[in-house]
Amino acid sequence: MLDKNQIAQRIAQEVKEGYYVNLGIGIPTLVANFVRDDIQVEFQSENGILGMGPFPFKGEEDADLINAGKQTITALKGASYFDSATSFSMIRGQHVDLTILGAMEVSQNGDIANWKIPGKMVKGMGGAMDLVASAENIIVAMMHTNRAGQSKLLKQCSLPLTGVNCVKKIVSNLAVLEIIDGKFKLLERAPGVSVSEIQKATLGDLIIEGDIPQMKF
Amino acid sequence: MINKTVANVQHACRGVEDGMTFMLGGFGLCGIPENAIAELVRLDVKEVTCISNNAGVDNFGLGLLLQKRQIKKMISSYVGENAEFERQMLSGELEVELIPQGTLAQRCLAAQSGVPAFYTPAGYGTEVGEGKESRDFNGKMHLLEHAFKAQFSFVKAWKGDTAGNLIFKGTARNFNPNMCGAAKITVAEVEHLVPAGELDPNQIHIPGIFVQRIFQGEHYQKRIEQRTVRQRV
């Protein structure tokens, strides 16, 4: 079973040369730490920076330089700043190559829910609805089950949706899955996790073809 | 040169009344119009609608107006950092319209640029799309969204000149430029106010035509919400 950093490390393998990448809050933010340093990649944060760098050294924090999670950051050489409308022109206009975000639930047809639990938690969708509605390449980083042990990979989402038919790939603490023809297709399993454990933790329809390889790091 | 300068925040906020709709720039606490917010608290205007990406934190930013129950309705994309906000929303005291962040920005831009409405795919198939006109373009469904209508825009820039030209700094830019000229009156507060002619016209982000009043802001706190640092190796 993977921890959050290992999920991020596995997702980092999906980041390719020349990609502009938008990272959501939570596990996705960690992906930046694991991207190979021999490829050229730029991170976009929807509050208005392209070319986002690591956290600043202590004493060098700048209140005017944050990411979408409101964390202090730095800008790399070649970075640019822009307004919110321009930021979403990049996103809606499909200029961003890869979007990585978290989810509370994903359904087997690629619907995603991650912004609201009616009556309990209403934080808002932020930029997630714009991202999932327009991005061509969306990877979801998530835990396979919730704290009560219930599957978060479902036939249909029970929570209010963020977007429909949009998720392409999921990297969870148990597996890598692809969404194909309205089903979850198992691609890889986490080290030490069996196919039957993944089956038990997945409520949606699961396609298992041949031997399922273990993730490589 | 048309002089847009006003003496102070009191002059800048003249005409503000109960029941009005305001736009306020900022992302979290980054780039918020601190002086204007303090003046709105002092004026104690009530029943206002605020269009702003976030609602501040409990004791700063728009959280200050929430504490005094001055806000009737919030139009935002993300409100996760404010316990008082959540309490007022769940109890029904506060009306809240949550909309996708890109739609929020584009509705500001539409108001600024005289476009009454536009189509966007964001929110289609979700509760954001309920009751909205939808339409297929190139095999993909889109929602019709409308330009905002507001009486005042309150924005904050890094530098500005007496003609109302503005330059923003870092990610404090965010919604501020999109809200300029998007309300009947745009009030810009700046950290550095300089005479017209001192700013390089090549470097201006927002031309003064979009700004009606500009003033030198004071006592900026520029609070950091999440102070994240790395260790030196």
Token pair belonging to B4: 């847009």
The pLDDT score that the predictor gives to residue B90 is 84
Token pair belonging to B46: 């009530």
- Chain A positions touching B227 (Cβ under 8 A) are 61, 72
pTM of the model: 0.96
- Which neighbouring-strand residues pair with B136? B141
The Cα B127–Cα A215 span in angstroms is 37
Neighbours of B69 (CB within 10 A): 13
Confidence of residue A196 (pLDDT cuts 50, 70, 90): very high
The pLDDT score that the predictor gives to residue A110 is 97
Cα dihedral A51, A57, A63, A68 sign: positive
The string of DSSP letters for chain A reads ---HHHHHHHHHTT--TT-EEEE-SSHHHHGGGGS-TTS--EEEETTTEEEEE-PPBTT---TT-B-TTSBB-EEEEEEEE--HHHHHHHHHTT---EEEEE-SEEETTS-EE-SEETTTEE---TTHHHHHHH-SSEEEEE-SB-TTS-BSEESS--SPPSBSS---EEEESSEEEEEETTEEEEEEE-TT--HHHHHHT--S-EE--SPPPBP--
Cβ-based contacts under 8 A for chains A and B = 184
How distant, in Å, are the alpha carbons of A81, A126, B185 from that of B210? Answer: 20, 27, 9
Nearest-Cα distance to chain A for B63, in Å, is: 15
Pick the residue of A84, A111, A117 with the most B CBs within 10 A to test the interface with B by mutation.
Answer: A84
- Who among A64, A126, A160 is closest to B30 (CB)? A64
Is any Cβ of chain A less than 8 angstroms from the Cβ of B206? no
pLDDT at A168 over 90: yes
pLDDT at A100 over 90: yes
Say what the ipTM of the complex is.
Answer: 0.97
The pLDDT score that the predictor gives to residue B190 is 98
The Cα B147–Cα B114 span in angstroms is 8
The pLDDT score that the predictor gives to residue B74 is 97
DSSP letter (8 states) at residue B83: H
The pLDDT score that the predictor gives to residue A137 is 94
Confidence of residue A14 (pLDDT cuts 50, 70, 90): very high
Nearest-Cα distance to chain B for A77, in Å, is: 14
By C-alpha distance, the chain A residue nearest B173 is: A83
Neighbours of B16 (CB within 10 A): 19
Angle, nearest 10°, between helix axes B101-113 and A84-92?
120
The pLDDT score that the predictor gives to residue A121 is 79
Per the residue annotation, which of A14, A17, A42, A46 is the catalytic one? A46
Residue of B170, B145, B148, B146 lying closest to B157 (CA atoms): B170
Is any Cβ of chain A less than 8 angstroms from the Cβ of B100? yes
Is any Cβ of chain A less than 8 angstroms from the Cβ of B124? yes
The string of DSSP letters for A19-68 reads -EEEE-SSHHHHGGGGS-TTS--EEEETTTEEEEE-PPBTT---TT-B-T
The Cα A201–Cα A178 span in angstroms is 16
The pLDDT score that the predictor gives to residue A25 is 87
SS3 at position B153: strand
DSSP letter (8 states) at residue B20: -
The string of DSSP letters for B36-70 reads HHHHHHHHT--SEEEE-S---BTTBTTHHHHHTT-
| Structural contact between residues A207 and A180, judged by C-beta atoms closer than 8 angstroms | yes
- Span A148-161, average pLDDT: 97
The Cα A152–Cα A158 span in angstroms is 10
In the residue annotation, A46 being an active-site residue is answered as yes
Angle B161-B165-B169 from CA coordinates, rounded to 5°: 90
From chain B residues 1-40, the ones with a CB under 8 A of any chain A CB are: 27-31
- Chain B positions touching A161 (Cβ under 8 A) are 125-127
Nearest-Cα distance to chain B for A50, in Å, is: 10
- Span A42-67, average pLDDT: 96
**Binary contact (B232, A87; C-beta < 8 A):** no
**Amino acid making up residue A112:** I
Pick the residue of A130, A159, A167 with the most B CBs within 10 A to test the interface with B by mutation.
Answer: A130
| Structural contact between residues B189 and B12, judged by C-beta atoms closer than 8 angstroms | yes
The pLDDT score that the predictor gives to residue B233 is 76
- Chain B positions touching A85 (Cβ under 8 A) are 102, 105-106, 108-109, 177-178
Give chain B's length: 233
Token pair belonging to A51: 């070319």
Residue ranges in chain B modelled with pLDDT below 50: none
**Amino acid making up residue A189:** R
Token pair belonging to A213: 């390889």
Per-residue b/e over A116-152, b at no fewer than 16 CB within 10 Å?
beeeeebbbbbbbbbbbbbbebbbbbbbbbeeeeeeb
Nearest-Cα distance to chain B for A192, in Å, is: 32
The pLDDT score that the predictor gives to residue B94 is 95
Side by side, the strands of the sheet bearing B134-137 are B117-120, B140-146, B134-137
